Each structure stands twice: as C-alpha cells, then as structure tokens.
Chain A
Amino acid sequence: MAAAEAPASADRRVWIIIGLIVVSSLLALPLSQQVFGLRLTYTVRVVALGGAVLGVISGVLGCFAVLRQESLLGDALSHAALPGVAIAFLLAGRDLSWLLIGAGIASWLGLRMVAAILHTTRIKQDAALGIVLVSWFAAGIALLAYIQSIPDASQAGLDHFIFGQAAAIVERDVSLVSGVGLAVLLAVALFWKEFKLVTFDAEFAGANGFRTGLINTILSTLIVITIVLGLQLAGVILMVGMLIAPGIAARQWTHKLEQMVVLAAVFGAFAGAAGAVISALDSDIPTGPMIIVVAFALVLLSITLAPGRGLLWSRLRQRANRSRFAARNTLLNLYRYALRHGAANSPVPDDFIRGVGDRSAELGLRQLRAKGQAMFSKTGSEAGWRLTDSGIQQARQIVHNEKLWAMYRLHAHRLDLPLLQEDRQAAIASVLPAAAIALLERKLREVEDNA
C-alpha cells in the first residue's frame, strides 16, 4: 500500500503528524495545570525535566534496539546493572556518578558474558540472556541485602534503583544525565550512517569494508550507557520498557529511520515526563512502573491509530475492500442471470440473488441501490431486482475488462506485451499502453467472431 503512494508526499505527511504530536504534547503542560489542578512546583519541574531528557535519549537508542530485534538484550542488560550499583556503593559511597559507572561496568560485563556463552557453547540466545539476567540480578540482590545489614547504610536508598524513584532526583542528577545524554546523542549523529547500515543490512556493511564488529560494539555500549542513565528514574527491572516502548510506538507511524528516531524521542520525552510527574505526586507510586504504563498507552494508541499501518486503518481498509467486492460480485451475478433469462434488464428474483451471494449479497444490493445501478420492483410478474442503464454499462465494462485480461494471459507472450502481475480487479487500460490494449481488443474480437 505504502509503496503505491508517492514517497515524497507520504514523507511530508509523517513530518506533519510529528509536528502535530509535538504541539499537542507541549499543550498538555498548561492543560494539566488547568484541568487536573496540578501544581508544577520546583521538585515536579526537575523531575519532569529529568524524565523528558531521559525519554529523548532512550527513545533514540531504543529505535536501534527495536529494529535490531534486541529488545530482550536490553532487558538482560538493565537487570545486569544492579550488582554494579551495589559494588560501587561499597567501594565509593553514595555518589551518583560512581554508582552509574559501576552500573555501566556490570551491565557491559553482562553483555560480554552473553557473547561468551553464545560463542563458546551451544546454548541459544534466549537461554544465555536468561542466565545472565537472573544471575547478575541475584548477585545485586544479595549484595543489597548485605548492604542493608550494615547499620549506617540502610538509609542510602539503593533499592530505588530497583523500581526507580523520581522523588530522589535532584537538579545535579538531571544535569549529569543531560550532559552524558548529549554526548550519547552526538555519538549517534556522528555514526548515523554506520548505525543505519549495520541495523538494516550488516552483511552488506561488512562487504563494503565497514568494521561491523566495532560498530556493533559502539552501538551496544551506547545502549548500555542509556540504560544506566535511566536506572535512577525507571529502575533496573522496567528500564527496558522505557528503552523500547517509544521506538515501537514510533515504528507504527513511519517507514523511515530519521522520522522514527525523531518521533521516538518525542514519545520518550512525553512518557518520561508524564510518568515521572504522576509518580512524584504520590510517593506510593514508584516511577518506573508509571513511565511504563504511560509509554504503553502511547504504543497502544499508535498501534490502533497510526495511519496506513494501524489496526483501525487496516480494519477500515478491510471493510472498504469487502463492500467493494460485494458490490462488484452482486452486480455481475445480477447481470449474468438477467442475460440468461432474456435481456440485460430482465428482473432477477430476490431469493436467487440472496441465495447466491450469501451474506455479502445484502451488502452488495444496498450499495448498488445507493449508486443507482439496480432497483427493486415488487409488482406482478416483473417482481425482482433489475439493473438500471448505468448498472448494465458498469457490468459490461467489468466483463469486458475481464475478457481483456483473459486475452492478455493467453497471448501476452506472442504479442510481445510487457509482463505484468495479473490483477483482474484493476482496469487493464490503466496498466498497459493504448497500443497493447488495441492489440488485445482485436484478439478478443477475433475470438468472439469465431464463436
């Protein structure tokens, strides 16, 4: 479907949609103040900003994770960060940048371990991911339990890293996340071509002399950094949702990577900010889960509403197809019956047409009547469905078109016509040049004359 549209206009349409989404999510800010009586205090603003920045970064990197079908790797990597947090705390105390560095190292080691298991054993990817995910996580839990048994460390709030806690975020954290995040985004911009290539066709990239191994490592490392940045807000268990949900939602709206990345950044910013704000309002709601719920709502919305691809659109398209098909079939049934029983406008009994067409007959008849191609008369021996002049003309056209297609199938080779996919629903005159149509018309006349 999408291929049939002019690519440039489809492109512009998606950019317009992206613009509309940006404007409407910006409008959500004052609206939330007006409608829900939300008071944007300093804390809430900081938290929302943090969530939004994080959403942008994870949305951008998440696109690659989604397209490379590595969503579950993201899950494993975020779980694997937990022991790093605990060890960093034991070594360096509660300093966010050290905790995040520890998390990054642990997560990266998890990545290497998955690769090592895949490389040296016959265990498949899913099991390797599961093994690393749960054993790293268990190590983290065991270390956290040990830390909690240390008397003065119980207030450190390390367990916020499990489910995320927006209330714990201060301005310094946000500037740290923004700084590192900016570097990550710059790296993505720098390696844009390479990342795009290894994501869609790694073999082609390798054959053209790109060092795919190195590029993959850089991309995975960036994803690890993104996950680590999000831990404080979303928590190790649910960070994967924040990573991939914006990408999945964005994927529904477009077929172009550039647009997908921009849209994912917007979705991510919205989910991050909204989730963080909602959870900051009530300390009983952990932030990670709330962000996930918002992000999933966006995914659901995209899956249903996205133009062209969404469920709603494909359902509408299906319905349109079904009714067009029903109208066409009913018209032909009426026409053939009428011809066999006299002229093209002789009446067709209601029982017959409904019996032949089953349930689609009802649909078809309704449309034909609406278009003025058939009408129903109840009187006397003439009772039944009767084609109008425009109906007869339409039916003749369809039959003629089908006959031309039949001629095309029989004689295309001998007449040296261009090769086409046969599609009898399409008007043959619109896909073949006029000269070819003329040849087919002559063939058809010959055949009919012989008969």
Chain B
Amino acid sequence: MMLLERGLIELLLNVMTREELNAFLRSPQNTATLVGGLIAICGALLGAFLLLRGLALTSDAISHTVLLGIVVAFLLMTETFGMEGDISSPWLILGAALAGVATVLLTEMLYRSGLVKQDAALGLAFPLLFAIAVILVSRFVDDAHLDEDAVLVGEIGLAWANTNSHCFEHCESVTISPDHPAAKHRRQCLNCRALGISPRDEDAEFRWICSNCGHYSPAQAYSAGLLEREPLLVFFPKSITVMLLMTALTLAFTLIFYKELKLATFDAGLAQALGFRPGRLNYALMILVSLVAVGAFDAVGSILVIAFFIIPPAAAYLLSDRLSLMLLIGPLIGAAGAFFGYDLARGRLFGVVPVSDGIAALNRLFGLDLIERWDSSISASMVLMIFVFFILAWILSPRYGLLSTLLRRANRRRRFADQVVLAHIHNHQHTALHSTECRMDTLHEHFRWRPGKMRRVMARLRALGYVRVVAGSAELTERGDRQVHAFRRNMLEAYNMPDLD
C-alpha cells in the first residue's frame, strides 16, 4: 500500500509542487469529497447489478454483517495479537469482508431450512449481527475510530488527518536506543502499586526505563525535534488509498466481466446454459460489495454506506434503459451527491444557497427560535444530496419521470376526447338525428361533460380543421372524416376484426 501511494504521489508531483499537493490533501473538503466520490463510484457500479437482480437490500445485509466482522477483527488484532488497532489495515479489511460473505451464506442456509421466510431471515439475522457488534463496541472496544458514532456516520470529515507520511528528500529515520544521546530516562517503581508502597518508601524498588526509545520515521523524527533539516514530506490520507484500491478493483471487475455480468443479470438461465457460472459471479459480486463496505466503513459508517449502493443506480435506472448508460450515470450522480453533500453539511445547498437563510425563514414564518448556523454530519448530508438527485430524476426523467408521465397521460386523455367526439359526429352525421345529437349548445350533455371541457375540445378540433359548425351543429370536414376512418381502421386491426363497411 505504501508503494502504491508513493507511485501515485510521484505521478502527481509531475503536475504540481509538493506544497500544493500537501495543501490540497490537507483540506478536509478535498479529501472528504474525494473519498465520498470514490465510494460513490464503487457503490453505483456494483449497486447497478444488485438493483437489476432485485438484490438491492443485500448491500444493507452485507454492511450490517461487515460491521460485526470489523469489530471482531479489530478485537482480535488488538487483544489477541497485540497489534495496534487500525481500521484501514488490509488484514482487517480482508477478514471483515470474508466475515460479511460468510454471514450472507449463513442466512441463505437459514431460509433454505424452510422454517423461516427469506425476508424474515434477512430482517432477523442482520439486526442480530448488528446488535452483537454494537454490544461488543460499547462494552469492549475503547478506540476513537470505532465507537457508536463512528458506526453510525463514520468520520469522513477527519479523513484528511489519518495519513501515511512519505519522505522524498533529507530522509533520516532515527532509532533511539537507551544509550542514544537524545534518549530520556525515567524511574519506574516496580513494587509500588501492588503492595501499597509509595515511591518515597525505602522499600520501593526502581528500575530505569527509556521513555522515548524506538524507531522514528522521518516525519515522526522531525516533529519530535530530532532532525535539524526539515525532510520533504507528503502526507497522504489512508482512506483515499483504500478507496482508490477498491475503485480500481471494482472498475476492473466490471470491465473484464461486463459481458458475463450483463448476461447473468438479465438471463441467469441462459448464462448457465452457455457454460458461464452465474453462481460464482454472484459470489464475486458479494465479495466486492463486502470489500467496498469495509473500505468505506471508516468514512461513512455501516448504515449510510448502503445509500451509495442503492440510490444512485435507482436514479440511473429511471433515466436510462441501457446497462452501459446506467453504469455511467450512476457513478456521476453519486459523485455529484458527495461533492454537494460536503457543502450542505457546511451550510450551503448546492454550494450557493445558504441553509441558514432557510432556517431564518422558518423562524420568521413559525415564530421559532432555531439556531441559524447549520453545521451537520458530512456523510449524512452526502446521502441527502444523493437523495435529492434521485428525487430530481424521479420528477424529471424524460421517459419514466412523474412530469413526463403526467404529460403523457394528459395527452392520451386529450386524444381520447378528440376521438370520441369525432366518432359521435361521424355516427350521427347524415342521419335524421344530426341536428339534435350534434347541436353545439347541447353537445356536452351526450358525453356527460362539463360545457367548458366540450368547448375546449371543439376549439381544438376546429383549429385542427377536423370539424366545422354549420347552422349551430357540428359536422366533420373531409379531413375529419379521413381521421375517423384512419382511427377506425387502426382499431379494427388492433382487435383483429373484419371491416364490415
């Protein structure tokens, strides 16, 4: 991972100076947006396949189980192996992802036993695992990166602060041994606490220990004042590296197995018959989802992450009928949500409208007394912005949107009204009843319409040149006649009936 980061930094140093890069990465906004955007890309790509297979809630499932994996792996690392707990350690990510997949398999077994329905198995097993994880966290884990708050919302706002340092020049790492000139020594009482002896007693036994011995990386050595020359350092946030890796994996997986994924998603039976292995592909998908969920846990916690899996693909699904397009739109929506979400958390909707104005307006309208400064959770705001984009897609989608559906329905209603009126006139024209059935001032009664509606329909039909008014009665023009016949022919064909005329 360090090597990867180093290569990346060297690439970036070709286009910007070290100071610029450090300043860029040290900005909480840049790092948070970058991490959020990467999560959104991974989530939307994998989520699209989950959505199309009707497995959207599997991401919910996996994110819950992965939490237990993380907690158990974390406890194993710190308690059993005595390592330093680090949520972005690759071992922890791998272990937790495996735990996630294993638990998904376990629930499958639970409902295959036939005693519990699938939804009940999901609705029961995942709260349970989550519950155990929360009990473990609140009872046994004492770590700032893994508490109940981090479980809920993550700490994407602090992602910039958890970094690996890379040194490029004047790199001296320092090892301080007890005989090093800079070593500091301190007395420690060996038998004080146990026997109730105070350090001032004569019986107290002491030994000397070195309080600052150990290995110092260049960055640590410089900040401890052990170096005279400042090393040239780049601080790279760990979350970015982890999510970059996940994004690369996800992209590679979708590109390489695009054809197989597409086939297995839309026609699993055919895929099986053609000798692909849709089952294995499914497991690969689950493993990737688990990996991404673990990678994103540090940043957005274990519940909000499912928004990145479900909402952008759903919005893209409303906007497009093509899988390839869906895979393009989804990540864009997710990344845009991450971008604007940071602004929302800091009080600016879409980066321009201040939220405090809205709160002030509410205060004035309802006589409330709310604080106008809006400072909120970044990850939750990102989810909210993604949701806003979903709502926009829902309303505005050209084919499936609420607006276009309403327009289409209104259009259809209008065309239907036109056709029944034309058919009515056609039926009664040239009959004895024409003057009573088609009189302009009573025409609406035959349809039980309000007069206003009839007037609008007639105005339209006359403007189209289908109907003219002769002596207070409506009759068809030649164009109108042709229209009625065309419509009649279409209908007969549609119902497969012979034309008896």
Binding site for B on A (CB under 8 A): 66, 69-72, 74-75, 90-91, 117, 120-124, 126-127, 129-131, 133-135, 137-139, 141-146, 149-150, 162-163, 237-238, 240-241, 244-245, 248, 252, 282, 284-286, 288-290, 292-293, 296, 299, 303, 309-311
Contacts and interface: CB of A to CB of B under 8 A. Distances in A.
Contact of B310 (A120, A130, A137, A146): A130
9 contacts: A121-B394, A123-B314, A126-B57, A131-B314, A135-B307, A149-B371, A286-B135, A289-B134, A303-B116
Contacts of A244: 120, 123-124
Contact of A142 (B318, B371, B376): B376
Interface in B115-158: 115-117, 119-120, 122-124, 127-128, 130-132, 134-135, 138-139, 148, 152-153
A285 B60 contact: no
Interface stretch (B77-85, B88-96, B383-391, B413-421): B383-391
Nearest to B397: A121
A299 B127 CA distance: 13
B59 interface: yes
| Residue among A69, A74, A122, A130 with most chain B CB within 10 A | A130
Contacts of A309: 115
Query: Interface majority SS on B: helix, strand, loop or mixed?
Result: helix
Of A72, A74, A284, most B-chain CB atoms within 10 Å = A72
A162 B152 contact: yes
Contacts, number: 181
Nearest to A150: B371
A66 B121 CA distance: 10
B56 A127 contact: yes
Contacts of A126: 54-57
Contact of A245 (B124, B130, B390): B124
Contacts of A303: 113, 115-116
B368 interface: yes
Given A123-B51, A286-B138, A288-B131, 17 more contacts: A90-B368, A122-B318, A134-B303, A135-B386, A142-B377, A149-B375, A149-B376, A163-B134, A284-B138, A284-B139, A286-B134, A288-B134, A293-B132, A296-B124, A303-B115, A310-B115, A311-B115
Interface of B: 51, 54-57, 59-60, 113, 115-117, 119-120, 122-124, 127-128, 130-132, 134-135, 138-139, 148, 152-153, 303-304, 306-307, 309-311, 313-314, 317-318, 345, 366, 368, 370-371, 373-377, 379-381, 383-384, 386-387, 390, 394, 400, 402, 405
Given A248-B120, A286-B135, A293-B128, A120 B376 contact: no
A99 to B, nearest CB: 17
B395 to A, nearest CB: 10
B445 to A, nearest CB: 34
A146 B370 CA distance: 10
A134 B152 contact: no
Contact of A129 (B57, B128, B148, B311): B57
A124 B53 CA distance: 10
A240 B318 contact: no
Interface centre among A74, A75, A121, A303 (most CB of B within 10 A): A121
A123 B59 CA distance: 16
Q: Looking at A122, A142, A163, which has the most chain B CB atoms within 10 Å of its CB?
A: A142
A126 B370 CA distance: 37
B68 to A, nearest CB: 11
Given A69-B119, A126-B54, A163-B148, A289 B387 contact: no
B57 A72 contact: yes
A285 B139 CA distance: 7
